[in-house]
Structure 1
Amino acid sequence: MLVNVPKTRRTYCKKCKKHQPHKVTQYKKGKDSLYAQGKRRYDRKQSGYGGQTKPIFRKKAKTTKKIVLRLECVEPNCRSKRMLAIKRCKHFELGGDKKRKVIIAAYTYTYIYTHTHIFFQSLQFCNTTVLDFAFDTGLSLQILSKPVHLIVQTL
C-alpha cells in the first residue's frame, strides 16, 4: 500500500507551546562516526593478521523499515525539530498528488457514412444524452458502432 504524506502539517510545537505549521521531511540516518568507541575497537581488532574477527549479520527478517518523519517548525524564531515515527510501509511518498474520484462515462461512437459525410458523436452519461456533436468531416467513414470507456470528469 502506498502511503502519501503532505509536505506541511499543522501540529503542536513544544517550544512555541501552540499548534504551528511544520515542514515535513523523511528522516535519513547520518554517516557513522569513525571515532565512536565501538568503531575504534572494531578497527583495532580487525587490523593485522587473522581475517574477520566479528560475525557479519546475514539473517535479515524484515522487508520494510519504519518510516520516521522529521517535523520542523516554520516559525522563524523557533525552527525546533522533532521526529515522528509512522507504521511500516513498502511504498512511501512525500507530497504526492491526492487521490481523486473519477467519473467514467461510456462513449458510444457511431460513424455514419451518408451522402453528406456527417459524423455524429453522442455521449451517454447516466442514460441521458448530455452532448451531441454533428460536424462535417469530408472523409468517407465506414459504418461502425462500438462502446469505449474514457475518463470524462474529475471531482
Structure 2
Amino acid sequence: MLPIPVKFKLVSGTAEGETRLTAFDKAILRAGVGNCNLIKVSSILPPRCRPDRGIVLPPGALVPVAYGFITSDVPGEVIAAAVAVGLAEDPASYGIIMEHSGRVSRAVVEAEIVRMVEEAFACRSLPLKEVLVESTEHQVVKLGCAFAGVVLWY
C-alpha cells in the first residue's frame, strides 16, 4: 500500500514551446514540478491533508498530482487552467480536488472550478468550509501551454 499524503500545495505555470510536449514541460517547470515524475491522481484530498507552500520535491520523485492543462497552437488565443481544493468543515474529513482548463479566460475557469467543487460536496452531503483556487492564463504566441495542479506530499 502506498503512504497517504499529509500535505498539499497548489501550483501553476504557463509557457511556450516548439512542440506541445515541450510547452507542457516548460509549464510544469515554471510550476515547480518539472523535475519530478508526475503521477496523475483523481479528485480526493486525503483526510487531515493540509496546505503547505514549503513542500520541496526532490528531483526524480514520484509525485501524486491532480492537474489540468491545455495546449494551443493558435496565435493570440487565450488559454487557462485551474485547480481547486474544497476543504470540509470537519478537519478530519477528506476534501475534494477539481481540475479544469479551456480556451477561455482565467476568470471563466476559476468560476467553473468553484462550481465544480460545490457540486462535488453537495452530491456527497459533505459540508464545505473553504475553496482554495490556483489558476493561470496564457495568450498563445506560437504554441503555448497552461498548467495548474495540486501536489500531494508526505
> TM tier, shorter chain?
under 0.3
If each structure's helix is expressed as a fraction of its own residues, which one has the higher value?
2
If each structure's strand is expressed as a fraction of its own residues, which one has the higher value?
1
Return the TM-score normalized by structure 1.
0.21
